[in-house]
Amino acid sequence: MNIYNAYLLIMRVLKFGGTSVGSAEKIQHVAEIINDGVPKIVVLSAMAGTTNFLEEIVKLLYKAKNDEAVAKINELKKQYETVVNELFIKVEFKKKGIELIDHHFQYMHSFTLDSFTIYEERALLAQGELISSAFLHYHLQEAGVNSALIPALNFMRIDKSLEPDDFYIKQNLQREIEQHKGVQLFVTQGYICRNAYGEIDNLKRGGSDYSASLIGAAAGSDEIQIWTDISGFHNNDPRYVEKTVSLKELSFDEAAELAYFGAKILHPSSVLPAKMANIPVRLKNTMKPEDEGTIIKDTFVQGEIKAVAAKDGITAIKIKSGRMLLAYGFLRQVFEIFERYQTPIDMITTSEIAVSVTIDDRKNLDDILADLRKYANVEVDENQSIICIVGNFLAEEKGIVAKVMTALKEVPIRMVSYGGSMHNISVLVNTSEKIKALKLLNENLFNL
């Protein structure tokens, strides 16, 4: 149920990524797209490159290279001064823009005066979204469009397990909206939030997509739109493969698998809130709004291989024990070790004498290995990639695995996983083989 029934407004959510707001001209273009009279909440990323830049400043500050950090902050400020000059026409708004960036950059400079902490890191990383959203808001004001800027730090919150606090988000988003009677266009920040202790935090890199779906679910939206630099979800990773095509439709489950296994177009967690609330997610190209893009919804087209994606930075761990499958309790012991170190397992394959698992979070790898070695021989392979082939395989059950394996016959494969769901075949390859594998799958599965 839509929480804004009091106004009879259904708030659509539109999220614009970094490249979509990457220059003054692009911000003006976004303003044109959103100013169509449909009530909406617009979620913005930082301007393209800014979060990377801020991460570089963070690294310098941790290394106590404060002079270099100051120089970088000044460099970024210069870029923003140019944007202000190009974005605003009236003197009054140019002044407002300059005051805005003076305020944010003074704050950034305050972190260079003393030793640097994790709290300051997160506050620093939040500056990109705070500035881009204020730019769009001021631009709308200058153009005479009735809109309101609602601070994400007033309603987006994660709990102690770093999961979104849905109840808090819903209540506080509603309160923010209600403060602006008569307004139908709201602008807010993606990515940033507060944590359980009230500190500034974030939803991890690429997290603005996640913000958008959490906001869409909280507001009972009719649609969540993710506007980016490509016309929808492609069948393969366009960063590595030349001939890829946009997909008209994906199911929530297919999109979630692909996003989790490396399709950068969507943050891995962003599908679930939309799926739970059954809100369609539409992917659109900001530069080509007329292109249809992709709709992600509760739907299934049978018997099709839809798309492939690849996730890097995977570590494979082979755990070898004399008798494994017959020794009941062995797998439990193995899984308990990963649970103890809060490390999720992505893939798993078993044989009588060994089990292989993959992880992408290496934070506690040494401790995990030390514990595993108490029970078994352990071998580790680093720099692996999971290639995930997604679709609805029911109708093609007979040939599907053979097709994938034939396509990959020239690629050494470390692990294969099929049957966990009817939507996914995963293979593990050395990262050096990834691009070749993606290209071969493109040629052989999609005839592209």
Interface contacts to ligand ASP, rule CB under 6 A = 17-18, 45-46, 51, 128, 190-191, 205-208
239 touches ligand ADP (CB under 6 A):
yes
Nearer to ligand ASP, 269 or 315 (CB): 269
For 46, which DSSP code? Answer: P
By a kind-dependent CB cut-off of 5 to 8 A, residue 19 interacts, out of ligand ASP, ligand ADP, Mg ion, none, with ligand ADP
Residues between 269 and 298 that touch ligand ADP (CB under 6 A): none
434 touches ligand ADP (CB under 6 A):
no
User: What whole-number distance in Å separates Cα of residue 289 and Cα of residue 232?
Assistant: 11
Spatial contact of 188 and 43, defined as CB atoms under 8 Å apart = yes
Nearer to ligand ASP, 157 or 318 (CB): 157
Nearer to ligand ADP, 111 or 233 (CB): 233
What is the nearest approach in angstroms of Mg ion to the Cβ of residue 264? Answer: 6
In terms of residues, how long is the chain? 448
Exactly one of 81, 229, 249, 360 binds ligand ADP (CB under 6 A); that residue is: 229
Count of other CB atoms within 10 angstroms of residue 285: 18
What is the nearest approach in angstroms of ligand ASP to the Cβ of residue 316? Answer: 27
Q: Could you give phi then psi for residue 163, rounded to 5 degrees?
A: -95, 150
What is the nearest approach in angstroms of Mg ion to the Cβ of residue 84? Answer: 25
Nearer to ligand ASP, 128 or 391 (CB): 128
User: What whole-number distance in Å separates Cα of residue 126 and Cα of residue 253?
Assistant: 31
User: What whole-number distance in Å separates Cα of residue 186 and Cα of residue 195?
Assistant: 23
Spatial contact of 3 and 27, defined as CB atoms under 8 Å apart = no
- Interacting residues of 338 by C-beta distance below 8 A, sequence separation 6+: 344, 345, 357, 359, 368
230 touches ligand ADP (CB under 6 A):
yes
What is the nearest approach in angstroms of Mg ion to the Cβ of residue 207? Answer: 8
The single residue listed with the structure tokens 């018997």 is 303
Exactly one of 11, 12, 19, 69 binds ligand ADP (CB under 6 A); that residue is: 19
Q: List helix spans (H) across 341-433.
A: 365-372, 400-407
By a kind-dependent CB cut-off of 5 to 8 A, residue 237 interacts, out of ligand ADP, Mg ion, ligand ASP, none, with ligand ADP
81 touches ligand ADP (CB under 6 A):
no
The CA-to-CA distance between both ends of the chain, in Å, stands at 43
Count of other CB atoms within 10 angstroms of residue 175: 12
Exactly one of 88, 233, 261, 393 binds ligand ADP (CB under 6 A); that residue is: 233
By the criterion CB under 5 A, which residues form the site for Mg ion?
17, 206
Exactly one of 72, 122, 137, 234 binds ligand ADP (CB under 6 A); that residue is: 234
Number of amino acids touching ligand ADP (CB under 6 A) = 18
Nearer to ligand ASP, 73 or 445 (CB): 73
In 3-state terms, the chain is what percent helix, strand and coil (to 5)? 40, 20, 35
E strands, 199-248, in order? 200-202, 224-228
